[in-house]
Structure 1
Amino acid sequence: MERKSVLVVGGSGYLGQHLLAALAAGGEVDVAFTHHRDTAPQPLLHALPGLRAFRVDLRSGDGLRAVSDSFGQPHVIVNCAAISVPRQCETDPAAAMATNVPSSLVTWLLSFGNDNTLLIHLSTDQVYEGVKSFYKEDDETLPVNMYGKSKVAAEKFIIEQCSNYAILRSSIIYGPQTISPVAKSLPIQWMDNVLSQGQQVQFFNDEFRCPVYVKDMVDVVLSLTKSWLADGKAVQVLLNVGGPDRVSRLQMAESVADVRGYSHSIIKSVSASSVDRGVASPPDISMDITKLTQMLGIKPISFQDGVRATLAAEAST
């Protein structure tokens, strides 16, 4: 029987590495990933020696041919690659669109001339305007910043072009550090670090999200992958993927303080409007995840439990 294969685009990033570790541990599929930097992260290749790494420039598509030449047509492609820092997207909208709308990837996928590949694409909660609580998948997308706009454009492009896709609108993804540590600051670890210093720190009390624990995010991707590989039935799905709790940055910090035993007196509550971040930020993009739990039977863990698991994992490394 033919071995199934999965390609993780942007596999050296935060979610990408967690996903690669889970896929490699399963051992049931051949796994490859793409990276943008000159060399793939060595600690990752060392820890997961079965992985194939390919350098790909997603804007131009350079490197994708090498993937098909030596890895073949993947049964599943998971696209985690993006410029996901809103301020960066705001300062360079052209780069945001070129990177976040996966036109070269989809063109390459279509070049195989069949419907044998499922594209799982990571989108964001920032596609919503942020003026109410618990957005549903069929609510209008009215992003307030360039990052959200580039992600809406990507969703539309994939829905128009691809016959099999799963688009996952993810909230803030948090959890343990990756095998090869990522450069970007991780939310729980950052909060733990600043609070551990005992100085007063400001946190927004009026911006709400549904942060999702990274292992739940991985489980969603694995669940979609498994069912596609098992039956190959047409998939065209759009899902909100968040945790069950609608929390502000202030409440996130309070959870970290509770788990660690820090005093709440060093947590200062401020409005998001008190700081100019150089980019508009939607106030409330909490998401309704009923469709996710009904369709996949996955119930993401509570934020407090996720914080506990994250800090416990950090302590054991």
Structure 2
Amino acid sequence: MAERKRVLVIGGSGYLGQHLLDGLAKADNETPFDLAFTHHRPIPPPELIDAISPVYPFRVDVRTGEGFESISNTFGKPHVVVNCAALSVPRACEVDPVTTMATNLPTSLVNWLSSFKDNNILLIHLSTDQVYEGSKSFYKEEDETAPVNMYGKSKVAAEEFISEHWSNFAILRSSIIYGPQTFSPVSKSLPIQWIDSSLSRSEEIEFFHDEFRCPVYVKDVVNVILALTKKWISDGNQIKLILNVGGPDRLSRAQMAAAVADYRGYDLSLIKLVSAASINRGVVSPADISMDISRLIQALGINPISFKEGVRLTLESAS
């Protein structure tokens, strides 16, 4: 039987983290995984523990590193670490830049990884499309990072820190991640579910028509992480990779809403177009951070599904 590889998900009780643990647990048996995750709440979510069992939960403060030592003692040295932990609400990041940098800069994580004798652990780090300025369409990975808000700045700092202090990494710049609800429901609003709920009340809702993203289905992000994990485990060659991880469609919020309305049969006249520049959200938001994903497709052979198909899968999962 093949050696069981240990995968640790930092921030495993969050939205992507829960979907990722599910994907790892269901991965084929050629390379079985021992799974662990970190959480910041007082106790790990019981629904997640029940769904993924066996899995090792650890309470960790990523700002200080408190709790990492217990992982060393109980779970041991991981083969792969996926860092999903972050403060990711741009307005909240703008209000508290000190906490944002302390949370989003993975200093304590990299210091802990460096404590192991053989520093051959693969670190997969979730970044964001908000590292880009937003002044053009379809950014490539080699384009300049020039974030316009604190969230983006903290993520650029994290990318630079990892590149300078770790030798085996993949940085994933994800767009808006959408999909089904998690085993343990997350508190944040999920984009497709929110649009669906809002339009279902037959009330007019305002949506931005001039702010563009490449929303990506959550299970496509999971598949990217699984592919990188299996690639590292199978060939053992160090990775230094930055990938745009978005869906194939460049969409405004209004176009996203129209796709939901089309699937459900809602009246399209309920969608009222407004300019993003006309609304003060307490934080600067980039206008167009759509991404070119050709490197992702070429490197891993993964073609993310269309937004229309992702909407169908998301809403069907809730019925």
Report the TM range for the smaller structure's normalisation: over 0.9
Deviations 1:259-309 (A, max 9, x none): 000010110000001111000000000000000000000000000000011
TM-score normalised by the chain length of structure 2: 0.98
- The match for 2:211 among 192, 203, 207 is 207
Q: Could you tell me which residue of structure 1 aligns to residue 159 of structure 2?
A: 155
Structure 1 segment 278-289 matched on structure 2, within 5 A: 278-289=282-293
SS of the aligned residue for 2:243 comes to strand
| One-letter amino acid of the counterpart of residue 89, structure 1 | C
> Which 4+ residue blocks in structure 1 deviate beyond 2 angstroms?
none
Structure 1 segment 127-138 matched on structure 2, within 5 A: 127-138=131-142
For 1:131 and 1:50, how far apart are their aligned partners in 2? 46
Q: Could you tell me which residue of structure 2 aligns to residue 226 of structure 1?
A: 230
Deviations 1:202-236 (A, max 9, x none): 00000000000001000000000001111110100
Give how far 1:25 is off: 1.7
- The match for 2:251 among 247, 250, 265 is 247
Structure 1 segment 1-317 matched on structure 2, within 5 A: 2-26=3-27, 28-315=32-319
Contact 2:205 2:270 in 1 (8 A): yes
For 1:260 and 1:230, how far apart are their aligned partners in 2? 43
Contact 1:24 1:51 in 2 (8 A): no
Give how far 1:2 is off: 3.3
For 1:234 and 1:22, how far apart are their aligned partners in 2? 23
For 1:92 and 1:114, how far apart are their aligned partners in 2? 36
| One-letter amino acid of the counterpart of residue 76, structure 2 | G
Number of equivalenced pairs: 315
For 1:276 and 1:238, how far apart are their aligned partners in 2? 32
Deviations 1:160-182 (A, max 9, x none): 00010000000000000000000
Give how far 1:42 is off: 0.6
For 1:114 and 1:163, how far apart are their aligned partners in 2? 12
Deviations 1:32-78 (A, max 9, x none): 00001110001111112201100000000000000011101100000
SS of the aligned residue for 2:318 comes to helix
Give how far 1:114 is off: 1.8
Contact 1:174 1:212 in 2 (8 A): yes
| One-letter amino acid of the counterpart of residue 271, structure 1 | S
Give how far 1:10 is off: 0.1
Give how far 1:154 is off: 0.1
For 1:152 and 1:284, how far apart are their aligned partners in 2? 18
For 1:257 and 1:274, how far apart are their aligned partners in 2? 24
The CA RMSD measured in Å over matched residues stands at 0.7
SS of the aligned residue for 1:238 comes to strand
SS of the aligned residue for 1:106 comes to helix
SS of the aligned residue for 1:50 comes to coil
Contact 2:43 2:59 in 1 (8 A): yes
For 2:300 and 2:57, how far apart are their aligned partners in 1? 30
Give how far 1:311 is off: 0.4
Give how far 1:124 is off: 0.1
Using the aligned pairs only, state the percent identity: 66
Contact 1:129 1:144 in 2 (8 A): yes
Could you tell me which runs of 5 or more consecutive residues in structure 1 were left unpaired when the two chains were aligned: none
For 1:3 and 1:134, how far apart are their aligned partners in 2? 39
